Amino acid sequence: MPRRRRSQDRLTFDGLPLYPDEAEIARAVLGSNRAKAWTGLAVVLERGGLPRIDPLFGGRYWPAVKAFLDRRHHVGDPGMDCSCRAAARGTSRL
C-alpha cells in the first residue's frame, strides 16, 4: 500500500509500488481532486511516450512513468538552465 502524508493525504512518489494501478498513478501525479482527468491525459501522453500498461503486471512501470514526466519537464537535464526551461514552456522569468 502506498505511503500517505497525513497533512495533505497525498500519495508519495517513493511510496508507490513498481506497477501501481491507474488510480494510484492518477492521485500521485494529479492529486485526489483532479485524479479523474488521468484517463484522458494518459491516452494523450501515451502518444508522446508515456509507458503503456504492462499486460503481465497490470500497471505502468512507475520509475519509467516518473522518468517520462521528468523528461517532459526537463528535470535533471543539464543542458537546460532556468531560462531555457521557461522558454520551452512559453513563459519567462524576470
Write out the residue range of the structural domain in which residue 19 sits: 4-89
Region of 18 (left: φ > 0; alpha: ψ -120 to 50; beta: rest) is alpha
Pairwise CA distance, residues 39 & 85, whole Å: 27
pLDDT level of residue 76 (50, 70, 90 thresholds):
confident
Domain count, the chain: 1
φ and ψ at residue 85, rounded to 5 degrees:
-65, -40
Quote the pLDDT of residue 7: 43
Q: What is the mean pLDDT of residues 65-92?
A: 75
Query: Over the stretch 19-50, which tens digit does the pLDDT of each residue have?
Result: 999 999 999 999 999 999 999 999 999 999 99
> Above 80 in pLDDT, residue 6?
no
Whether residue 35 is contained in a domain is answered as yes
94 within some domain: no
Residue 85 lies in a domain: yes
Task: Decide: pTM greater than 0.85.
Answer: no
